A and B are shown apart, each in its own frame.
Chain A
Amino acid sequence: MSDAPLVLGIETSCDETGVGLVRGRTLLVDAVASSVDEHARFGGVVPEVASRAHLEAMVPTVERACVEAGVRLSDVDAVAVTSGPGLAGALVVGVASAKALALALGVPLYGINHLAAHVAVDVLEHGPLPEPTMALLVSGGHSSLLLVPDVTDDVRPLGRTIDDAAGEAFDKVARLLGLPFPGGPHIDRAAGEGDGAAIAFPRGLTAAHDLRRHRYDFSFSGLKTAVARWVEHREAGGEPVPVADVAASFQEAVVDVLTRKAVLACREQGVDHLLIGGGVAANSRLRVLAEERCAAAGITVRVPRPRLCTDNGAMVAALGAEMVLRGRAPSALDLPADSSMPVTLVRA
Chain B
Amino acid sequence: MLILALDTSTAAVTAALHDGSAVLAERTALDARKHAELLAPSVDQVLAEAGAGVGDLTAVVVGVGPGPFTGLRVGLVTARVLGAALGVDVHGVCSLDVLAAAADAGETGVDFLVATDARRREVYWARYVRDGDAGPRRVDGPRVDLPREVPSAGLPVVGRGAALYPEQFGDAVGPLEPSAAALAGLAARWLRDGVEGPRAPGTGREPQVRTPDGKGPVPFGLLPPEPLYLRRPDAMTPGARKRVLGRA
Answer yes or no: A46 CB below 8 A from chain B CBs: yes
Which single residue of chain B is at the shortest CB-CB distance from A95?
B36
Answer yes or no: A243 CB below 8 A from chain B CBs: no
Which single residue of chain B is at the shortest CB-CB distance from A181?
B238
Answer yes or no: B61 CB below 8 A from chain A CBs: no
| Residues of B with C-beta under 8 A to A102 | 40
| Residues of B with C-beta under 8 A to A99 | 36, 39-40, 78
Closest chain-B Cβ to A242's Cβ sits at a distance in Å of 18
Closest chain-A Cβ to B163's Cβ sits at a distance in Å of 26
By the criterion CB–CB under 8 Å, are A104 and B77 in contact?
A: no
| Residues of B with C-beta under 8 A to A52 | 69, 73, 227, 229, 233
Which single residue of chain B is at the shortest CB-CB distance from A52?
B233
By the criterion CB–CB under 8 Å, are A100 and B78 in contact?
A: yes
Answer yes or no: B139 CB below 8 A from chain A CBs: no
Which single residue of chain A is at the shortest CB-CB distance from B243?
A232
| Residues of B with C-beta under 8 A to A275 | none
By the criterion CB–CB under 8 Å, are A92 and B36 in contact?
A: yes
Q: A89-B70, A333-B40, A334-B41 are in contact. Are A104 and B81 (CB under 8 A)?
A: yes
Which single residue of chain A is at the shortest CB-CB distance from B234?
A48
**Chain B window 58-72, contacts with chain A (Cβ cutoff 8 Å), 1 for yes, 0 for no:** 000000000001100
Closest chain-B Cβ to A100's Cβ sits at a distance in Å of 4
By the criterion CB–CB under 8 Å, are A93 and B241 in contact?
A: no
By the criterion CB–CB under 8 Å, are B44 and A333 in contact?
A: yes
Answer yes or no: A97 CB below 8 A from chain B CBs: yes
Question: How many of chain B's residues touch chain A, expressed as a range?
Answer: 35 or more
By the criterion CB–CB under 8 Å, are B81 and A335 in contact?
A: no
| Residues of A with C-beta under 8 A to B56 | none
| Residues of B with C-beta under 8 A to A337 | 36-37
Which residues of chain A (80-121) have a CB below 8 Å from chain B?
A: 88-89, 92-93, 95-97, 99-106
Answer yes or no: B153 CB below 8 A from chain A CBs: no
Of B74, B238, B245, which is within 8 A of A96 by CB?
B74
State A54–B73 Cα separation when bound (angstroms).
9
| Residues of B with C-beta under 8 A to A333 | 40-41, 44
Answer yes or no: B144 CB below 8 A from chain A CBs: no
State A105–B40 Cα separation when bound (angstroms).
13
Which single residue of chain B is at the shortest CB-CB distance from A48?
B233
Answer yes or no: A229 CB below 8 A from chain B CBs: yes
Which single residue of chain B is at the shortest CB-CB distance from A172?
B241
State A329–B36 Cα separation when bound (angstroms).
21
By the criterion CB–CB under 8 Å, are B235 and A62 in contact?
A: no
By the criterion CB–CB under 8 Å, are A101 and B81 in contact?
A: yes
By the criterion CB–CB under 8 Å, are A96 and B40 in contact?
A: yes
State A93–B78 Cα separation when bound (angstroms).
9
**Chain B window 1-44, contacts with chain A (Cβ cutoff 8 Å), 1 for yes, 0 for no:** 00000000000000000000000000000000011111111011
By the criterion CB–CB under 8 Å, are B85 and A73 in contact?
A: yes
By the criterion CB–CB under 8 Å, are A63 and B36 in contact?
A: no
Question: How many of chain A's residues touch chain B, expressed as a range?
Answer: 35 or more
| Residues of A with C-beta under 8 A to B81 | 58-59, 62, 96-97, 100-101, 104
Answer yes or no: A296 CB below 8 A from chain B CBs: no
| Residues of A with C-beta under 8 A to B77 | 54-55, 58, 93, 96-97, 100
By the criterion CB–CB under 8 Å, are A236 and B245 in contact?
A: yes
By the criterion CB–CB under 8 Å, are B235 and A42 in contact?
A: yes
Answer yes or no: A344 CB below 8 A from chain B CBs: no
| Residues of A with C-beta under 8 A to B85 | 73, 100-101, 104-105
Which residues of chain A (224-253) have a CB below 8 Å from chain B?
A: 225, 228-229, 232-233, 236
By the criterion CB–CB under 8 Å, are B70 and A103 in contact?
A: no
By the criterion CB–CB under 8 Å, are A62 and B84 in contact?
A: yes
Closest chain-B Cβ to A152's Cβ sits at a distance in Å of 23
State A103–B85 Cα separation when bound (angstroms).
10
By the criterion CB–CB under 8 Å, are B70 and A51 in contact?
A: yes
By the criterion CB–CB under 8 Å, are A92 and B73 in contact?
A: yes
State A302–B112 Cα separation when bound (angstroms).
66
State A103–B80 Cα separation when bound (angstroms).
13
By the criterion CB–CB under 8 Å, are A46 and B41 in contact?
A: no
Which residues of chain A (41-58) have a CB below 8 Å from chain B?
A: 41-43, 46, 48-49, 51-52, 54-55, 58
By the criterion CB–CB under 8 Å, are B36 and A96 in contact?
A: yes
Answer yes or no: B134 CB below 8 A from chain A CBs: no
Answer yes or no: B155 CB below 8 A from chain A CBs: no
Q: A101-B81, A229-B245 are in contact. Are A48 and B235 (CB under 8 A)?
A: yes
Answer yes or no: A202 CB below 8 A from chain B CBs: no
Answer yes or no: A176 CB below 8 A from chain B CBs: yes
Of A49, A58, A73, A93, which is within 8 A of B235 by CB?
A49
Of A59, A103, A175, A229, which is within 8 A of B84 by CB?
A59
Name 25 interchain pairs, CB-CB below 8 A, sorted by A: A42-B236, A42-B238, A48-B234, A52-B69, A52-B227, A55-B77, A58-B80, A59-B84, A73-B84, A92-B35, A96-B36, A96-B73, A99-B36, A99-B40, A100-B81, A102-B40, A103-B40, A103-B43, A103-B44, A225-B244, A229-B245, A232-B245, A236-B245, A333-B44, A334-B37
* B residues adjacent to A (C-beta < 8 A): 34-41, 43-44, 54, 69-70, 73-74, 76-82, 84-86, 227, 229, 233-238, 241, 243-245, 247
Query: With A59-B80, A175-B238 given, can you name 4 additional A-B contacts, CB distance below 8 Å?
Result: A52-B69, A96-B78, A103-B40, A334-B38
